[in-house]
A and B are shown apart, each in its own frame.
Chain A
Amino acid sequence: MKRVALLFILLAASSALLVASKPNDNENVTLTINAVCTATSSVKEHDWSLQDSVTVNMTETVTYRIVSMEKSGFVELEAISHTNNLSAGGGGALHVPVEPRKWSYSINGQTKNPLVGLTLDYGRGFVILHPENFVHEGNLKSTDPSYGAAGRIADTGVSDAVNQLGSPGKQDFAVQCRKTFKPWPKDLQVSGSATHHFSMDSADGQTRQSADLTMSYTVSNNFTQEPEAEIFPPDKYASWVPEAGEDEEKPGNTITVQARVHKKGDPKTPYYKKAHFKFQLVEVSKEKGVCLNWPRPYFAKDGFDLKIEPNSNTPLKVGGDGQSAESAAGLDESHVTITSHDWGAYGKLTVTVVFDDGSMVNAHVLGDPSKQALTIPEDDNGNHIADFWEKHYIGGSPDAKADDDLVPIGDKSQGDGLSLYEEYRGFRVQGKHIRTSPTGKDLFVRDDDNLGLGYFAQSGLTVHLIQDGEYANEDGEINVSVINCNRGFATRGQQHLLRMRDENMPGLYGIADGTGPGVPKTTKAVKIDVARCLTKGAEQLQSTIAHELSHGCNVWHHGDDDYEITEAEGLMPNGTWAKFTPVISWTVSIKGGQESGVEQCIMRYARASYYETPKGTWRWKKPNGALQRGNPYDPGENPGTIFCDDPKGTGVNAEKRPGGSKAGDATKGNCKGQFCVNDNKN
């Protein structure tokens, strides 16, 4: 019964698969069989005797396709073609006095299904042949159905041999039908033969029956099927940009990547071997902190910025450093989830597919066999910056170290001291991460006392007010406050922020305390005397804030050559000159001096003691001794509210002002054209 069931399964499977598949010589296992079964039967009684013999010859070649291979190496085979030929000869005679008989044997020449089954196990290295269907009463015919003892003995002999395959003890034929080979061969070539003798003689010696089965076989294959492993980027790979958590320990965003192995060139057909997947992150960034200014260097670490976290990859065995992971064996596909720990994280993922026989293949990125690693994030130009982010900005150089910011044009020098990569990696500003623009020049300001930016927004710079703790102090000559304190890859060096505070000043409204107008590194602090500014009104405060911040961005006064006098004479109504002396000195505004240029400009001084004019009612001696006529400057003008873009004097400084221009055109002027925040410029 068991044998019948087995046969049924084998035949059914073979039939079905024969219909479904086409042969492919390159991936096949071929079984070649030559078998002979001879059987004789003789009976001798006192008045009759019977002599019967049969020989069945069979040749068969079966071609199998490897459907799949289990983790152990057990192969599921699908018979996709076969040829066989059966022939039978012999016959018998019954010698009786009354009615002697003769008969002969025949067999169907070919069968619809293979006669011999095959078990193949690459992992354990053996083949087993199953000749159950070779000879049986169903296919061997006798011309006299009443007789044919030899045919039955042949069937019984085959059955006896086959039954040994599954029964302990009497294992001769089974052993011979089972041929071992070195496990996991690249090419299989196994030959063997099996013989079996079966006899069934009666105890009195009158009946002698025997069958001999001889079977030689060859199992071979010639594998040329190759695997192909591919890395499948997720759907939104193109828009994935790394993010980080609050610090290096906390996870940021994730990206899940699938890897799959299949038959080369045929993604829909699984490869016959099963495998496990080794994921490896390579060339992973190790930037300090999670962005350029957070956490501060004292607290920042520089571990890997992309990690394979065990919590997100429970089916995988994750390596201790989070840079590698391995799936279980016996798979066609696996996936890995990679967690970002830095806003500028970058790296590559490689996948090695290791088959259960130890052979391996490296996966390539879907559709591109030349790419053996998936770049994370997508980064075709290899600058470690996500392409998704880059495409949103006017392109300068794609070099990660480029600093090509254009807006505002300022002093016409490009850049804001932050490289392209640094703009992309970004900053923590007011407790929230931002990426800055590589097009617009950025300035970071720590406004310790919440003074606000006044009129400074008109600078056109993109100003970021940061919180305490969102910068670090480093060694420096003047300004020690650095915004890119976690800089590393592709940095252009320190970029300083401006610190601003309310401070009691000795008679000034404010000052950019440092080495004079220059880039931010030259300004130690911007100090504003809020209370004194407010004695003149809120406008003075707004203007002073903008004025002093601008000095920290390389903007100068309109001119610097006003001079001091220690006495002056005023023309009295009686036409005489009366001498006056100041407590210390008086300041005279000159053409092109600090009061010159556009009247409303923030960088212009709005008051001096006197200004020069040939028709003035006052006179004094200039530092060079020349007599100069002029007038008291009063009333002064209102504090500036804009940044000028032209040195030409306007308002009180206009050339055609009735009574004459007070201070004329600015020597420097064009304040908008002076802005520079790039600490790499001098």
Chain B
Amino acid sequence: MSKLRWALLILPAIAIAAAAVIFFVRRSFREGGPESPQPPESIAEIEQEDAPPLPDVSLQINEHGEAQVIQGTPLIFTVRAANPRAANTLATNEAHERSLALIQEKLSKGELSKQDSEPMLELARVKREIKTVQLGTSDRGWEKFLHFEVQTAGSPFAPVNWPLTPVKSPDVKSVLLDGSSNVQVQYALNPQSADKVPAGDYVLQAVLEVAAGTSLPQELWRGRVASVPVKLKITPAPAQPSAADRAGMNLQRAEFFSTTSDWANALQSAQDALKEDPKLIRAQMIQGEAKEAQGDLAGARDAFSQALRLFHEQYPDSYERPQYLLDRIAALNKRLGSQLP
């Protein structure tokens, strides 16, 4: 009896399994097998085979590229997210439109036969879908899905536990990245905290991660993308720093305080840097920005003017004009009621 029952149970299962195998084998043959997909029917089909939407995240630590700082130098982490795939799709669609116009022009001039133009028109009329990326919600800003990871010699990436604080909250919490938009957020590691980060070689990356299955709106992008890793070398503070060391460190502090709008410290650091190296254009610029922010318009104009002087000394053959400095000076002159440009 038990054998019969077993057989009654197992036989249908075998039959179903066999049917499924036959179905898939037949389908494989019909479709040319899993390793030999059928060639596309048309160029439109090829063109529409698009990759899924994918945001891109970049990380910048202080200046662009590898950063080398003396221990205690404050750090600014700048993260930008964009949707370059969508940007490329947009560019391709626009290229198709231009191509379409050219084909139609040649057709009207009789430089192209109708027959030859057909496949060209088919391609030129393809308009790819621009796949946007939505990040963040009104409750949970997009930057909340960001974190930083650090790698030290021989170890895998691990979350950064440095006390990074947002420089300011992003203007928008929920963003829709299309082909022409991007968003930015900055985090600061202040000098006191930076002083506690041990000297060493670090590799850091920003990671945007939205876990699948979280109770977030369906339209949000999900996945994980990491920035290109950035190398950061923190060297121990020298016992007797050189003038160049002091100038460099103070300039970086000035840049930091400028970014965080701590104008008093920015001004002090810029002036400290200029004491060591009076030719630092950036220190003069920050001095000008700090003084302007503090209401010292004449002092700011003088600082920008000094920066302009230094620029002409150091870059006499620059193809680009120091338009930022000229704009600042002109604006300050205006505010000061001066007729001078």
Contacts and interface: CB of A to CB of B under 8 A. Distances in A.
A and B are partners in one complex rather than unrelated chains = yes
Given A239-B40, A251-B35, A587 B95 contact: no
Contacts of B272: none
A467 B56 CA distance: 9
Contacts of A465: 84, 87-88
Between A432, A434, A517, the greatest number of chain B beta carbons within 10 A of the residue's beta carbon is seen for A432
A258 to B, nearest CB: 13
A70 interface: no
B51 A430 contact: yes
A240 B282 contact: no
A450 B64 contact: no
A649 interface: no
B324 A437 contact: no
A356 B301 CA distance: 97
Contact of B341 (A337, A395, A503, A633): A633
Interface in A491-524: 501-512, 516-517
B268 interface: no
A463 B89 CA distance: 10
A294 to B, nearest CB: 14
B58 A449 contact: yes
A468 B228 CA distance: 7
A392 B95 CA distance: 14
Contacts, number: 210
Q: How large is the interface on B (under 10, 10 to 19, 20 to 34, 35 or more residues)?
A: 35 or more
B36 interface: yes
Contacts of A507: 281, 285, 307-308, 311, 322-325
Contacts of A256: 32, 36
Interface in B19-45: 32, 35-43
B78 interface: yes
A440 B51 contact: no
B165 interface: no
B315 A506 contact: yes
Contacts of A584: 305, 308-309, 312
A577 to B, nearest CB: 13
B330 A452 contact: no
Given A439-B99, A462-B91, A463-B91, A506 B340 contact: no
A165 B64 CA distance: 97
A2 interface: no
A389 B106 CA distance: 20
Contact of B56 (A312, A450, A609): A450
A394 B39 contact: no
A636 B327 contact: yes
B308 A583 contact: yes
A449 B64 contact: yes
A605 interface: yes
Nearest to A572: B339
Contact of B58 (A240, A241, A450, A586): A450
Interface of A: 236, 239-241, 251, 253-256, 311-312, 337, 388-389, 391-395, 406-408, 429-432, 434, 437, 439-440, 447-453, 457, 460, 462-465, 467-468, 501-512, 516-517, 529, 531-532, 535-536, 551, 557, 570, 580, 582-587, 594, 605, 607-610, 632-634, 636
Interface of B: 32, 35-43, 46, 50-51, 54, 56-58, 60, 63-65, 78, 80-82, 84-85, 87-88, 90-92, 94-95, 98-99, 102-103, 106, 112, 116, 119-120, 122-123, 180-182, 228, 255, 259, 281-282, 285, 302, 305-312, 314-315, 318-330, 334, 339-341
Given A239-B41, A607-B323, 14 more contacts: A240-B39, A391-B119, A430-B51, A432-B50, A449-B58, A450-B56, A450-B80, A452-B82, A452-B182, A508-B318, A583-B302, A583-B308, A583-B309, A632-B340
